[in-house]
Structure 1
Amino acid sequence: MKRIILSAIAFMAIGFANAQNGHFKVGAHAGAVVGDLQESYSANLGIDAAYLWSITDKFSLGATTGFTAYVQKSYNYNTGPYPGYVHKNPNASFVPVAGTAQYSITDNLFLGADLGFAIFTGKKGTSDGGILYQPKFGYQTNKIELFAAYKGITNDGNIASLNIGFNYKF
């Protein structure tokens, strides 16, 4: 599966080499964990970077990466053999490598999506990563974007979050 995703990203990069108009954007996001692992993780925090090429006036394609971390909840044990013991597992962190698309509904509203692979950066042997998908809806100007997104990373299980984010365009 990794080979298919990396081949698709390479194919998109070659196809975009002829495109002349594009822009770079960087930003950050934060959100609440939902789904399978919401009992174990409390929040999703991250930074994003993307380059998009304008295919038409309203449609852009590109590549995106960044860093995203799911913050683990702490558990206090007030009973049992270790009263006052606090258990906290490590955070789950990923580096996404994905293709991205964005369609401008109007001059200020857009729909977007990221699809690719999220590389797990935690303790070896616990995960390799998983398929990343992230639909987005947002507001944009010439220099900024504000967006809401659903981010999912799936492998044997699914970790997901509802996020809000901000991007600055160069």
Structure 2
Amino acid sequence: MKKIILSAAAVFAFGFANAQEGNFKLGAHVGLPMGDFKDSYSVNLGADVAYVWNVADKFSAGVTTGYTTYLGKTIGSGVGSFEVPNAGFIPLAATGQYSISDDLFLGADLGYAIYAGSGDGDGGFLYQPKFGYQTEKFEVYAGYKGISNNGTLSSINLGFNYKF
């Protein structure tokens, strides 16, 4: 975890020292759970906040956070059923984005997701590759989010960010 925090701090410091201007992004995402826990959760919902600096031609880097939750399902029926609690996380990550063209980009978030749900739970390593469409004021993306720690809680997401 220390390495992840130090990496995010290094990206933040490098971008702050070298960038002329930055963009603040505020957005939301929705996704379908996949992988190890797809039978336990129905949907992934969340809000995203990021600040990125232009560090090179067509490349920006920065920091991102927000809140993401996986909504639990009721498993079984009748007397043998139980409800899976929601799993909420606060991501702390470095983010990078490369513009393939004026309209298309590839990006990734790497960091740590702090567990913020009810009951017992652990955080884990967060990774999210993205592909999207962008304008000067907004971006729409598709991505695969994974939170790994003794299994992977993952989802295929669709997101929208407004740029300030």
Specify the TM-score bucket, using the shorter chain as the normaliser.
Answer: over 0.9
Distance of 2:143 and 2:21 partners within structure 1: 26
* Higher Rg: 1
Is 1:118 aligned to residue 117 of structure 2?
Answer: no
Q: Which structure 2 residue ranges, 5 or more long, are not aligned?
A: none
Determine the structure 1 residue equivalent to 2:146. Answer: 152
Distance of 2:75 and 2:123 partners within structure 1: 25
Residue 86 of structure 1 and its aligned partner are, at CA, apart by 5.3
Distance of 1:17 and 1:106 partners within structure 2: 25
Write the letter of the residue equivalent to 1:104.
S
Is 1:39 aligned to residue 34 of structure 2?
Answer: no
Decide which moves more: 15-24 or 97-106.
15-24
Give per-residue Cα distances to partners, 1:110-150, cap 9 Å, x unaligned.
Answer: 000000000001245x3330000000000000001010000
Determine the structure 2 residue equivalent to 1:21. Answer: 21
Distance of 1:168 and 1:102 partners within structure 2: 15
Residue 6 of structure 1 and its aligned partner are, at CA, apart by 0.7
Is 1:99 aligned to residue 94 of structure 2?
Answer: yes
Determine the structure 2 residue equivalent to 1:12. Answer: 11
Distance of 2:77 and 2:100 partners within structure 1: 51
Residue 76 of structure 1 and its aligned partner are, at CA, apart by 5.0
Residue 22 of structure 1 and its aligned partner are, at CA, apart by 0.8
Normalising by the residue count of structure 1, what TM-score does the alignment of the two structures yield? 0.91
Return the match for 2:156 from 134, 154, 162.
Answer: 162
Q: CA RMSD in A?
A: 1.3
Is 1:139 aligned to residue 138 of structure 2?
Answer: no
Q: After TM superposition, list the pairs within 5 Å mapping 1:19-98 onto structure 2.
A: 19-75=19-75, 77-78=77-78, 82=79, 87-98=82-93
Structure 1 vs Structure 2: percent identity of aligned residues?
Answer: 53
SS at match of 2:36: helix
Residue 13 of structure 1 and its aligned partner are, at CA, apart by 1.7
Normalising by the residue count of structure 2, what TM-score does the alignment of the two structures yield? 0.95
Distance of 2:156 and 2:112 partners within structure 1: 18
Return the match for 1:128 from 122, 125, 131.
Answer: 122
Distance of 2:64 and 2:126 partners within structure 1: 11
Q: Is the CA contact 2:87–2:118 (under 8 Å) kept in the aligned structure 1?
A: no
Q: Is the CA contact 2:21–2:54 (under 8 Å) kept in the aligned structure 1?
A: yes
Write the letter of the residue equivalent to 1:153.
I
Distance of 2:75 and 2:146 partners within structure 1: 25
Write the letter of the residue equivalent to 1:92.
A
Write the letter of the residue equivalent to 1:145.
E
Residue-pair matches, total: 163
Give per-residue Cα distances to partners, 1:48-76, cap 9 Å, x unaligned.
Answer: 00000001230000000000000111135
Is 1:3 aligned to residue 2 of structure 2?
Answer: yes
Distance of 1:109 and 1:13 partners within structure 2: 24
